[in-house]
């Protein structure tokens, strides 16, 4: 059987059916308007049975205030994919009959070829005529495995993750793998891939083991030189049937159970990851310029939060005083950090302890900024805020008061654990830590105003408390 051909040419002028389908997808950012799409590149994979066309289209959407580049893998079949009805993008009548176009992460022909690209040395996606390149890389200790099944993780928003069930070549079950396919592409390395791979390759068990990645380059009109490069996908060990720390913490607070030991262990794990990151990536002493840039970003964030929630104006001068005091404090060295650290980014793995995920940095920040060395206190502050969120979530319930005490104890224990492993006396850094916590709460105000307006009072209350705390 030959490869069904909806030719690349026919898909160059992005068909309205594809645009309509994209608009419905969770990863499509501006669903209130119709996409205005241009195809800037395509990379292909080869189906091992040579029956399915596998093309990943890079589509530039210029309908919003800034152009966004989406990665859209499609599979082309001459007959329907069994069970694939919900993944059908459209059916096109071609010269030699119907061609069924699918959202490829749901097509086993695509998922197998994608994993093979990352794991098998001889497989290459190569360069396409429009200059798009995609190259697979495997991690230091990638397993020799065979795919038995794959499925798309439900509930995700900004990316699409594919879970692979696997067996070793001898037929014994192997640890499953999760492959995150980045839906929105930017010029530059993805910090999640870089940081997690480095930790995993160094043998850390505090992150899932890295399995492989796909990196690429493409013609990108948004970039001055016209050419961009970055990560397209990242595969790592999937740890099945585990809960994240947010759920564990929320349940513990609701039940009135102490979280002290677990919070202390989380502080220890956080400090260990920071120590390892300082060993693996460049570290430098804080210069006046570094301090100045961060304090300026604090102030920008405060201004932005004020636009989104004008009632914060009554706190503005108290907030600024905290930032002014931080500018005068002594700062620890700059190094790589997690960058968007909260309870939802940590898995509770029985027999292994806490495992940290998603080193992508704050989604509201530009990619290039997220790879810069930063201050570890930012992560500490992120987690302290997250304990406060647990109490904030229960504020309207019968457990309100107990939840506040729960959060207080958890925050203390987390700090104790962190200090014991890092040697950094966080309590002596209180002024600076308060500033980072306040900054995170200001970020959360913008995040909640845009995504979960019902939750905005959680960071707003925290800002008031932090800004007016006696010092
Ligand atoms: N290696 C993994 N093992 C188990 N679950 C995972 C793994 N990676 C991600 N997940 C699950 O997927 C969710 C989303 O992952 P995350 O890396 O935070 O993606 P995103 O940046 O798209 O939010 C996590 O909260 C977690 O529940
Ligand atoms: O997980 P993401 O990288 O998408 O992070 C974003 O979403 C988080 C919400 O899920 C948000 O975190 C905020 O809410 C958490 C509770 O749901 C809370 O634990 C965090 O402390 C709070 O910041 C995060 O800020 C945002 O970047």
Confirm or reject: Cβ of 363 under 6 Å from ligand 2.
Answer: yes
Work out the mean pLDDT of the chain and round it to a whole number.
93
Is residue 107 located within the same domain as residue 133?
yes
In this structure, which residue's CA is closest to atom 4 in ligand 2?
363
Quick one: what percent of the chain has pLDDT higher than 70? 97
CA angle 67, 73, 76 (to 5 degrees): 130
Least confident among 3-7, 73-77, 256-260, 381-385? 3-7
Residue 2: inside a domain, yes or no?
Answer: no
104 burial level (CB within 10 Å; 0-12, 13-18, 19+): buried
What pLDDT does 280 receive?
Answer: 98
What pLDDT does 399 receive?
Answer: 85
Which of 29, 342, 364, 436 is the best mutation target for the ligand 2 pocket, counting ligand atoms within 8 Å of the beta carbon and taking the most?
A: 342
Give the residue among 391, 196, 279 at the shortest CA–CA distance from 271: 279
Is residue 60 located within the same domain as residue 175?
yes
pLDDT tens digits for range 366-421: 888 899 999 999 999 999 999 999 999 999 888 889 999 999 999 999 999 999 99
What pLDDT does 63 receive?
Answer: 93
Is residue 208 located within the same domain as residue 326?
no
For residue 4, pLDDT beyond 90: no
Is residue 160 located within the same domain as residue 304?
no
Q: 6: pLDDT confidence band, cut at 50, 70 and 90?
A: low
Measured from the Cα of 153, ligand 1's closest atom is: 12
Is residue 134 located within the same domain as residue 269?
no
Say what the pTM is: 0.92
Is residue 365 located within the same domain as residue 247?
yes
CA of 468 to the centre of ligand 2 (A): 24
Return the CATH number at 389. 3.90.1200.10
For residue 333, pLDDT beyond 70: yes
CA of 153 to the centre of ligand 1 (A): 9
Q: What is the mean pLDDT of residues 453-462?
A: 96
| Burial call 375-402: b when 16+ CB within 10 Å, e when fewer | bbbbbbbbbbbbbbbbbbbbeeeebeeb
pLDDT tens digits for range 177-196: 999 999 999 999 999 999 99
For residue 471, pLDDT beyond 80: no
Measured from the Cα of 452, ligand 2's closest atom is: 9
| Residue 74, CA distances (Å) to 45, 151, 171, 180, 268 in order | 10, 16, 30, 16, 44
CA of 205 to the centre of ligand 1 (A): 16
Structural domain ending residue among the three candidates 190, 211, 237: 237
CA angle 454, 455, 460 (to 5 degrees): 120
Measured from the Cα of 244, ligand 1's closest atom is: 27
Confirm or reject: Cβ of 102 under 6 Å from ligand 1.
Answer: no
Residue 1: inside a domain, yes or no?
Answer: no
Name the domain count of the chain. Answer: 2
Is residue 200 located within the same domain as residue 302?
no
Is residue 258 located within the same domain as residue 225?
no
What pLDDT does 1 receive?
Answer: 47
Q: Can you spell out the DSSP letters for 78-109?
A: SSPPTT-GGGEEEEEEETTEEEEEEEGGG-HH
pLDDT tens digits for range 42-56: 999 999 888 999 999
Is residue 212 located within the same domain as residue 287?
no
In this structure, which residue's CA is closest to atom 6 in ligand 1?
238
Quick one: what percent of the chain has pLDDT higher than 90? 82
Could you identify the residue written with the tokens 């990863």? 27
Question: Greatest CA span in the chain, whole angstroms?
Answer: 77
Give the residue among 429, 341, 456, 426 at the shortest CA–CA distance from 387: 341
Confirm or reject: Cβ of 378 under 6 Å from ligand 2.
Answer: no
Is residue 254 located within the same domain as residue 223?
no
Confirm or reject: Cβ of 355 under 6 Å from ligand 1.
Answer: no
Least confident among 68-72, 130-134, 434-438? 130-134
Q: What is the mean pLDDT of residues 268-282?
A: 98
Ligand nearest to the CA of 340: 2
Residue 424 to residue 337: CA distance in whole angstroms: 15
Torsion from C-alpha of 358, 75, 136, 197, nearest 10 degrees: 10
Least confident among 20-24, 90-94, 284-288? 90-94
Residue 16: inside a domain, yes or no?
Answer: yes
Q: Can you spell out the DSSP letters for 131-143?
A: S-EEEEEE-TT--
Q: Comparing 8 with 401, which gets the higher pLDDT?
A: 401
What pLDDT does 31 receive?
Answer: 63
What range does the domain containing 125 cover?
Answer: 8-237
Give the residue among 116, 214, 207 at the shortest CA–CA distance from 164: 116
Q: What is the mean pLDDT of residues 284-295?
A: 96
Is residue 196 located within the same domain as residue 269?
no
CA of 190 to the centre of ligand 2 (A): 19
Measured from the Cα of 385, ligand 2's closest atom is: 21
Residue 151: inside a domain, yes or no?
Answer: yes
Residue 51 CA, chain-centre distance (Å), reads 34
Q: Which tokens in the block code for residue 45? A: 């994979």
pLDDT tens digits for range 127-172: 788 899 999 999 987 778 899 999 999 887 789 999 999 999 999 9
What pLDDT does 392 receive?
Answer: 96
Least confident among 4-13, 17-26, 243-252? 4-13
Q: What is the mean pLDDT of residues 209-232?
A: 96
Ligand nearest to the CA of 246: 2
Is residue 66 located within the same domain as residue 155?
yes
Confirm or reject: Cβ of 346 under 6 Å from ligand 1.
Answer: no
Structural domain ending residue among the three candidates 189, 211, 237: 237
In this structure, which residue's CA is closest to atom 5 in ligand 2?
340
Question: Which H or E element spans position 324?
Answer: helix 316-328
Measured from the Cα of 237, ligand 1's closest atom is: 1
Could you identify the residue written with the tokens 């759920």? 247
Confirm or reject: Cβ of 370 under 6 Å from ligand 2.
Answer: no
What pLDDT does 240 receive?
Answer: 94
Residue 118 to residue 200: CA distance in whole angstroms: 16
Structural domain ending residue among the three candidates 201, 218, 237: 237
């Amino acid at each position: 059987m030959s490869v069904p051909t909806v030719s690349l040419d026919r898909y160059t002028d992005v068909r309205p059916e594809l645009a309509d389908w994209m608009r419905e997808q969770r990863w499509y950012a501006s669903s209130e308007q119709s996409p205005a799409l241009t195809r800037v590149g395509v990379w292909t994979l080869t189906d091992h049975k040579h029956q399915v066309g596998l093309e990943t289209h890079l589509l530039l959407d210029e309908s919003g205030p800034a152009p966004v580049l989406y990665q859209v893998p499609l599979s082309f079949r001459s007959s329907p994919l069994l069970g694939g009805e919900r993944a059908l993008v459209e059916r096109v009548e071609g010269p030699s009959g119907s061609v069924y176009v699918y959202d490829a992460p749901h097509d086993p022909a695509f998922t197998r070829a994608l994993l093979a690209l990352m794991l098998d040395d001889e497989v290459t996606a190569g360069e396409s005529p429009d200059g798009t390149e995609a190259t697979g890389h495997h991690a230091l200790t990638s397993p020799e495995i065979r795919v038995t099944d794959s499925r798309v993780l439900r509930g995700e928003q900004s990316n699409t993750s594919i879970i692979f069930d696997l067996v070793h070549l001898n037929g014994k079950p192997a640890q499953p793998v999760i492959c995150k396919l980045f839906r929105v592409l930017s010029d530059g390395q993805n910090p999640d891939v870089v940081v997690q791979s480095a930790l995993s390759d160094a043998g850390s068990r505090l992150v899932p083991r890295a399995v492989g990645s796909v990196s690429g380059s493409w013609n990108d009109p948004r970039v001055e030189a016209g050419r961009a490069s970055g990560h397209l996908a990242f595969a790592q060990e999937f740890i099945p049937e585990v809960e994240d720390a947010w759920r564990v913490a929320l349940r513990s607070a609701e039940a009135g159970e102490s979280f002290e030991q677990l919070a202390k262990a989380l502080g220890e794990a956080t400090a260990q990851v920071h120590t390892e990151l300082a060993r693996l990536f460049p570290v430098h002493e804080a210069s006046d310029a570094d301090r100045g840039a961060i304090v300026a970003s604090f102030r920008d964030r405060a201004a932005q939060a004020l636009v989104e929630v004008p009632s914060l104006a009554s706190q503005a001068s108290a907030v600024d005083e905290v930032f002014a005091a931080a500018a005068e404090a002594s700062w620890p060295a700059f190094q790589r950090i997690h960058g968007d650290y909260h309870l939802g980014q940590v898995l509770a793995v029985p027999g292994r302890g806490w495992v940290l995920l998603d080193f992508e940095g704050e989604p509201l920040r530009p990619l290039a900024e997220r790879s810069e060395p930063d201050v570890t206190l930012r992560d500490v502050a992120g987690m302290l805020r997250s304990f406060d969120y647990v109490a904030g979530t229960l504020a309207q319930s019968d457990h309100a008061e107990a939840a506040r005490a729960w959060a207080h104890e958890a925050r203390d224990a987390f700090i104790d654990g962190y200090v014991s492993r890092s040697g950094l006396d966080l309590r002596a850094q209180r002024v600076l830590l308060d500033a980072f916590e306040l900054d995170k709460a200001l970020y959360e105000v913008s995040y909640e105003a845009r995504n979960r307006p019902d939750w905005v009072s959680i960071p707003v209350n925290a800002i008031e408390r932090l800004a007016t705390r006696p010092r």
